[in-house]
Structure 1
């Protein structure tokens, strides 16, 4: 079982709105609803540096393939897949946001359950 999510109020509200608009699968909705129910909300300045959030460079390992992936997690309107800028509301963003470096997370996609180990998160300059 993973630890409690730590989210800024803005990210909390963004995910809550995403859920309200039914933009996720049923299994994702269950995971996110439970995560939000138990989440700790903090101010941006109080967010620990090892917690995945928006405007971070995220490095994860896909456990099934052992491939390492590095992307920039950005606001939905800034996402550019070809530049490795993923929306915080993408599958990878939702799977990891609010989690700490070192955690392993499982995330159901439309076709499979992905397992990621969070290796690093750094602020985008």
Structure 2
């Protein structure tokens, strides 16, 4: 879908590598993530450009086939709480979007099948607010 390399902090890059090693993804997603990580740009967290999906971001995505809009508050795995309406960056949609920027279209295998999403908006998310 989007050919631009993903941009990740070194910590998130290492977390995704570890996630791959644990074999928690479908074969399709595993292959896709391995390919993305090979060409990923690793930067310091403070150097991640605005509009890039990372930890502590609020992401608005559109499911291309249905047009439905979803808003996800991505946080570190230990901070994800359903009652706070937050999800882990290691959730299926979190892993799919990490490192992509606004306007990117991503294809990822979800529990209900292959989906295509467009990242409509990325903004900082402060859990303490």
TM-score with structure 2 setting the length: 0.92
Question: How far apart are the structure 2 equivalents of 1:62 and 1:84?
Answer: 19
Tell me whether 103-112 or 66-75 shows the greater mean CA deviation.
103-112
Tell me whether 83-92 or 98-107 shows the greater mean CA deviation.
83-92
Residue by residue over 1:63-104, the C-alpha shift from the partner in whole angstroms, topping out at 9 and shown as x without a partner, is 122111111000111112343211101111111110010011
User: 5+ residue gaps in structure 2?
Assistant: none
Question: How far apart are the structure 2 equivalents of 1:68 and 1:110?
Answer: 18
Aligned residue for 1:11, secondary structure, equals helix
Question: How far apart are the structure 2 equivalents of 1:122 and 1:52?
Answer: 8
Structure-1 residue corresponding to 2:48: 47
What is the CA RMSD across the aligned residues, in angstroms?
1.1
Structure-1 residue corresponding to 2:87: 86
User: Does residue 15 of the first structure (1) align with residue 16 of the second (2)?
Assistant: yes
Q: How does 1:21-100 map to 2 (within 5 A)?
A: 21-100=22-101
Question: How far apart are the structure 2 equivalents of 1:67 and 1:81?
Answer: 21
TM-score with structure 1 setting the length: 0.95
Moved over 2 A (4+): 81-84
Question: How far apart are the structure 1 equivalents of 2:83 and 2:72?
Answer: 11
- 1:96–1:105 contact (8 Å) kept in structure 2: yes
